[in-house]
């Protein structure tokens, strides 16, 4: 297990390998399994990701509370029928991120990578980016190993919990993982992957966790959609040679300190932020009456 991105970077240099190679080797060691077995497990995980990223587009999926749902269908119809602002690739990814978060809120099956609340970002970003270059499933699986390596570092050195660090720790981690995965998928170096991940977290530092009525629905679902855009933009910046002025390890430390400095009201307690706006309170009261 690696403790810091710096360690991974020196290992990848020494062994002339990718981040995903190190993560896969480590996984084999931990699980006492062969590469083939580990890949088989991740292939099954990828299938669950694909199903969740698509089912909310194919059928309107409502959350159990009825608070969210149907936005994945809207986003996909829009990109198919209109001239979009961000283009087809980004809008396809947005629809998929919304789909997974709607499936999650309907108690469907998702992959909590890094968490259930932020589960829409990595699949939508990686699957969509892979389509553009006709990447194989094996390439996507490698990219997921890279995402997992980045997530492990964030969990080890900070947190991936909204209750502990705010939404920067959940959707921020998801975007960082996805950004690094896309960079590797597109042939970028390990340094570029960590630059992309660092920029993705920097872009949402301080983002609070304020779910309306205590449900992982509002604003969570749409933060998955914007998390995908964050990941894709940061991957493109890194692949263009743009570096993060602050290294990944230091960004993660800063994110943790900021999370610790957030008041409890802004860390998943629903006692502040959007949850206590007049509309947030009205939704909470309305749902409470129906329980
Ligand atoms: S607002 Fe909170 S519950 Fe919702 S996705 Fe962000 S961290 Fe998770």
* CATH label of the domain that carries residue 232: 1.10.4100
Q: Report the number of secondary-structure helices (H) and strands (E) in the chain.
A: 13, 0
Cα 134 to averaged position of ligand 1 atoms, centre (Å): 32
Peptide bond into 10 cis (omega under 30): no
Q: How many domains does the chain have?
A: 1
Beta bridge partners of 209: 267
Domain carrying residue 75: 5-289
Task: Give the contacts of 289 (CB within 8 A, at least 6 positions apart).
Answer: none
Cα separation, 34 vs 40, in Å, equals: 10
| Residue ranges for the chain with pLDDT beneath 50 | none
Residue nearest to atom 6 of ligand 1 (CA): 167
Q: Is the dihedral of CA 96, 98, 185, 3 positive or negative?
A: negative
Q: Which pLDDT score is estimated for 91?
A: 98
Cα separation, 161 vs 97, in Å, equals: 19
Q: Is the CB of 267 under 6 A from ligand 1?
A: no
Q: Which pLDDT score is estimated for 153?
A: 98
Q: Is the CB of 217 under 6 A from ligand 1?
A: no
DSSP letter assigned to residue 244? P
Phi-psi region of 168 (alpha: psi -120 to 50; beta: other; left: phi over 0): alpha
Residue with tokens 């699957």: 127
Q: Which pLDDT score is estimated for 289?
A: 84
Q: Which pLDDT score is estimated for 168?
A: 98
Q: Which pLDDT score is estimated for 53?
A: 98
Q: Which pLDDT score is estimated for 291?
A: 63
Return the ligand 1 atom nearest residue 115 CA: 8
Assess contact for 148 and 243: CB atoms under 8 A.
Answer: no
Q: What are the C-alpha distances in Å from 234 to residues 8, 48, 198?
A: 20, 26, 9
Q: Which pLDDT score is estimated for 111?
A: 98
Q: Is the CB of 174 under 6 A from ligand 1?
A: no
Task: Give the contacts of 87 (CB within 8 A, at least 6 positions apart).
Answer: none
């Amino acid at each position: 297990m690696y403790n810091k991105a710096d360690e991974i970077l020196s290992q990848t240099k020494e062994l002339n390998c990718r981040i995903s190679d190190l993560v896969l080797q480590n996984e084999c060691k931990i699980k006492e399994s062969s590469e083939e077995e580990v890949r088989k497990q991740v292939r099954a995980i990828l299938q669950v990701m694909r199903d969740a990223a698509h089912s909310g587009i194919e059928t309107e999926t409502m959350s159990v509370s009825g608070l969210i749902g149907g936005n994945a269908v809207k986003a996909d119809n829009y990109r198919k029928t209109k001239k979009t602002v961000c283009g087809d690739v980004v809008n396809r990814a947005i629809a998929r991120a919304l789909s997974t978060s709607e499936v999650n809120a309907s108690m469907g099956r998702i992959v909590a990578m890094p968490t259930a609340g932020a589960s829409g970002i990595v699949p939508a970003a990686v699957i969509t980016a892979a389509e553009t270059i006709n990447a194989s499933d094996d390439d996507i699986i490698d990219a997921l190993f890279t995402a997992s390596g980045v997530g492990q570092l964030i969990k080890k050195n900070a947190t991936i919990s909204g209750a502990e660090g705010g939404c920067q720790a959940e959707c921020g981690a998801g975007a960082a993982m996805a950004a690094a995965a896309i960079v590797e998928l597109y042939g970028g170096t390990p340094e570029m992957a960590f630059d992309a991940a660092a920029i993705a977290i920097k872009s949402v530092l301080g983002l609070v966790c304020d779910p309306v009525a205590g449900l992982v629905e509002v604003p969570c679902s749409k933060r998955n959609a914007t998390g995908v855009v964050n990941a894709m933009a940061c991957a493109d910046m890194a692949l263009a040679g743009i570096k993060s002025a602050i290294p990944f390890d230091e960004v993660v430390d800063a994110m943790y300190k900021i999370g610790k400095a957030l008041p409890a009201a802004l860390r998943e307690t629903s006692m502040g932020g959007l949850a206590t706006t007049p509309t947030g309170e009205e939704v909470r009261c309305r749902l409470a009456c129906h329980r």
